Chains A and B, each alone.
Chain A
Amino acid sequence: MSEEHEVLLQIKQLKTHFHLDEGILKAVDGIDLTIKKKRTLGIVGESGCGKSVTSQAILRLVPEFAKLEGELLLHRTKGNQKGEQVDLAQLPLRSKALREIRGGEIAMIFQEPMKAFSPIHTIGNQLMESILLHQSDNRKEARHIALGTLRKVGMSNPEQRLNEYPHQLSGGMRQRAMIAMAVSSNPSLLIADEPTTALDVTVQAQVLDLLNELKETVGTSIVFITHDLGVIAEMSDEVAVMYLGKVVEYTDVDTLFHGAQHPYTEALLGSIPSISRSGARLDTIEGTVPFPMNLPSGCGFYSRCKKAVDGVCNVADIPLVEVSEGHYVRCLLAGQ
């Protein structure tokens, strides 16, 4: 984590709480993350850990009844506020600035391209819509840009694809179209929420390569959200491991895989069946993720942790501590 990478987005104490009839659901509960220019931040965790809500909170896409707290300091790279720092969390929901940022500076790739595209508009129309919003008023020029972007993401037959509907494309091609839509206005940050989970491995490899290539050529930063640690190893520079709405470990990718200190990270790494070894028994994490509502005080992982100490881990909330430079762990027993 060197100084040479400028900070693009600084997330400070981000909270997203859903006030439901049954109580308060703390989907995201106080996370701090730094996204640097031209770097990829991987966010990994099991279902329900709040990784998707985090990404949606960055773009203020959470429902209005959700309570959003904290700071989302974005270093703007476009528009008349270029060079300034704005707090996304403070922008009014219908403001012009937020509209400029969504899609223009921060773009998102969703997991299910079939659900993210409108089935009744052609790929071309949907691509051009975002280009017309952010870059050009001229339909002809927009079409030209759309065509160029489709070429850039390696779409076969781009002219024909522009007139096709989403259902006419295969899964991999649809995800390429989705990526084309996201990068069409050269965003400074790309949020990819499980972009390859629905794809086959060989197609996944193509899409991952494409994203890495775009990172190099366009110079975007990427927030890559996935539950697959293999993909994390391949894509990320820094990694945040999330559990129950909190970051439990945050470090560079090499340290995560070779010097993880949080018991949850260790357990996750131990439970992956690898293709390079056939083991007799996998390490498992006993039990399941608790429902993130009315949680007891102390460490969220307490009930499943093999190293947990009664009277130490279940007393008060555990702070995120820097154990060595750039390596943060939320565990009282870290290093022991």
Chain B
Amino acid sequence: MDSGKRILEVRSLRKHFPIQRGFFQKTVGQVKAVDDIHLHIDEGETFGLVGESGCGKSTLGRAILRAIEPSSGSVRFKNRSGGIVEVTELDPKELRALRKDMQLVFQDPYSSLNPRMTVLNIVGEPLLCNQIAKGDQLRERVKQLMEMVGLDSRHLERYPHAFSGGQRQRIGIARALATEPRFLVCDEAVSALDVSVQAQILNLLKELQERFKLSYLFISHDLGVIRHISDRVGVMYVGKLVETAHTEALFTRPMHPYTEVLMAAKPIPDPRKKKRKAVLPGEIANPAKPPEGCYFHPRCPYAAPVCSEKAPPWTEVEEGHYAACHFAGQLDLQGAGAS
């Protein structure tokens, strides 16, 4: 993989939220929601980000877009003219221009659309405020966008309440695509949908990707969805990436015990395969007070003394397969099977 194909490169990205107490709002600690993340995404590629609630996957997605300000680190993005920009150093005006290239699709199709705006206004808003189109031209473009995502373009004047959950998610996608972005962050974009509708939206996202050469950062807690849509996958635990690899490699040869546990915990829709390994004890660590050493060691079935003393380094175990575990590559971990 040469770096010329990269659309996004994230280095040592951190987002720490201060914990403030008392009358003077003294800072008494830090929640390390995103802690020293390295990742890259190629053009036309889908990077799947998976983890349990509270692991910081949404914060990471937003910090990359600077929808929340990262604490430190670097986000390098290739804009549409081919130049590399450092997103974290842009001033507000430059950032606004760049936002045309990077958009966000939200989880909840009910709360992410303004109930008092028509579809025309919702989908047309990014075109208006970026001064791309107005008037009849805007109307035409919105019609086009609606047909692109599989909606009836006669429904321009309708309000969100007249649409079902799946259709609303399509409106959200149309809005994100309005400025012809090259990179989309899909934050749990299919989690609120029924499985048959979820399949429709996943297929739509794949089609759009092929048609417009889009790159996705696809955030989900559902390993099945992640395996289906991603080219490469990153697994997060308490603010840190614990493993990234190509999808096939990750699912057939996981290198981090947490990845193994996540896969084993996912119920398989086949009663003949329902033999599950031992259930993971305990709960996800508190990001305000994470344990010493490896954050996963109190729950890890393979933990050794070194795990509670030293944080594991981020190492490339095989080509393109990174893991943060002292024993990466030495453990015999079970995957979910080849496809």
**Which chain B residues border A254 with CB–CB below 8 Å?**
271-272
Query: Across the two chains, which residue of chain B brings its CB closest to A196?
Result: B267
Residue-wise, chain B 219-232 has the 8 Å CB interface mask toward A (1 for contact) of: 00111110111000
Closest chain-A Cβ to B1's Cβ sits at a distance in Å of 19
**Which chain B residues border A258 with CB–CB below 8 Å?**
272
**Which chain A residues border B229 with CB–CB below 8 Å?**
273
Residues 191-233 of A contacting B (Cβ, < 8 Å): 200-206, 208-209, 227-233
Residues 125-167 of B contacting A (Cβ, < 8 Å): 164-167
Q: Are B267 and A283 in contact (CB under 8 A)?
A: no
For residue A279, CB closer than 8 A to chain B, the reply is: yes
Q: Are A200 and B221 in contact (CB under 8 A)?
A: yes
Q: Are A230 and B223 in contact (CB under 8 A)?
A: no
Q: Are B197 and A288 in contact (CB under 8 A)?
A: yes
Q: Please measure, in the bound complex, the distance between the C-alpha atom of A267 and the C-alpha atom of B194, giving whole angstroms.
A: 13
**Which chain A residues border B164 with CB–CB below 8 Å?**
288
Q: Quick one: which of B225, B247, B279, B337 has the most chain A CB within 10 A?
A: B279
For residue B198, CB closer than 8 A to chain A, the reply is: yes
Interface residues on B, range: 35 or more
**Which chain A residues border B199 with CB–CB below 8 Å?**
271-273, 282-285
Closest chain-A Cβ to B308's Cβ sits at a distance in Å of 20
Having A202-B284, A289-B194, one finds 10 other A-B pairs with CB under 8 Å, namely A172-B283, A200-B52, A200-B53, A228-B267, A229-B269, A233-B271, A271-B195, A273-B227, A278-B339, A283-B199
Interface-lining segment among B70-78, B87-95, B99-107, B200-208: B200-208
Q: Please measure, in the bound complex, the distance between the C-alpha atom of A173 and the C-alpha atom of B339, giving whole angstroms.
A: 36
Q: Are A230 and B266 in contact (CB under 8 A)?
A: yes
Q: Please measure, in the bound complex, the distance between the C-alpha atom of A258 and the C-alpha atom of B248, giving whole angstroms.
A: 26
Q: Are B196 and A205 in contact (CB under 8 A)?
A: no
For residue B39, CB closer than 8 A to chain A, the reply is: no
Q: Please measure, in the bound complex, the distance between the C-alpha atom of A47 and the C-alpha atom of B166, giving whole angstroms.
A: 12
Query: Across the two chains, which residue of chain A brings its CB closest to B196?
Result: A285
28 residue pairs bridging A and B, Cβ less than 8 Å apart? A46-B194, A47-B194, A201-B265, A202-B262, A202-B279, A205-B264, A228-B195, A228-B267, A230-B224, A230-B268, A231-B267, A233-B271, A233-B274, A257-B269, A257-B270, A257-B271, A257-B272, A268-B196, A271-B199, A272-B269, A273-B225, A273-B227, A273-B229, A275-B268, A276-B336, A282-B199, A283-B199, A284-B196
Query: Across the two chains, which residue of chain B brings its CB closest to A283?
Result: B199
Q: Please measure, in the bound complex, the distance between the C-alpha atom of A267 and the C-alpha atom of B198, giving whole angstroms.
A: 13
Q: Please measure, in the bound complex, the distance between the C-alpha atom of A144 and the C-alpha atom of B338, giving whole angstroms.
A: 51
Q: State the 4 A-B residue pairs at the shortest beta-carbon distance, nearest first.
A: A230-B267, A273-B228, A271-B199, A277-B339
Q: Please measure, in the bound complex, the distance between the C-alpha atom of A285 and the C-alpha atom of B201, giving whole angstroms.
A: 11
Q: Are A234 and B279 in contact (CB under 8 A)?
A: no
Closest chain-B Cβ to A307's Cβ sits at a distance in Å of 16
Q: Please measure, in the bound complex, the distance between the C-alpha atom of A253 and the C-alpha atom of B196, giving whole angstroms.
A: 20
Closest chain-B Cβ to A10's Cβ sits at a distance in Å of 25
Q: Are A284 and B194 in contact (CB under 8 A)?
A: no
**Which chain B residues border A173 with CB–CB below 8 Å?**
283
